[in-house]
Amino acid sequence: MSTATTMRTSTSTRTQTAVYLTDVITGAFSHIVASLGLSAGHLERNWNAIETGLMTWIEEGTLTQVSLEFGDRTNPVAIVEIPLQYRYSGSGDAEFVANRARLARQMAKIKQIPAGTSYRVVTSHTGAHADVPGWYYTTAASRDGLTSYNLGSLGYGPDASLSMNYLSRRT
């Protein structure tokens, strides 16, 4: 009986973590796009597919990173990376934390992106992952010539945590 309870708690907690961290990621991307004065059209048109993919892959533990890439993938203007780190603690304790104040401070460090710059959401995975409608295979933007800045923790739940990196060209 103890084992069955632990399994139900773990599954429920992983699902809660997936839903919560998906909200943190999509909220951060929405905030970033709005703060940069870019159109939210791409996010709005693809919102359901983005949410479904992120939730599915976080719950199954295969999503390693989600990126918001600005500009052409061969010569991007900037990239925001959100790497995921998974924990398998076996604990049913749940704590969900997102640092919205930290996100606001991080945005102050991000250089302006030219008006009208296109952007896209790209993911990377470990191992086999579920196919999700609206997502397709692509190559991530080149990181050549970009300088990376670690902006710290973005959020965490009992099974996974998010940090944020900003990559841009030196001026």
Task: Please say whether the beta carbons of 120 and 34 come within 8 A.
Answer: no
What is the reported pTM? 0.84
Look up the domain containing 110 and give its range.
2-169
Q: What is the pLDDT of residues 44-73, one digit of tens each?
A: 999 999 999 999 999 999 999 999 999 999
CATH number of 118's domain: 3.30.900.10
Give me the pLDDT at residue 4, please.
Answer: 41
Give me the pLDDT at residue 170, please.
Answer: 72
The segments of the chain whose pLDDT lies below 50 read 2-10, 92-95
**The two structure tokens encoding residue 109:** 């460090």
Neighbours of 120 (CB within 10 A): 16
H/E stretch holding 69: strand 63-70
Domains contained in the chain, number:
1
Give me the pLDDT at residue 152, please.
Answer: 82
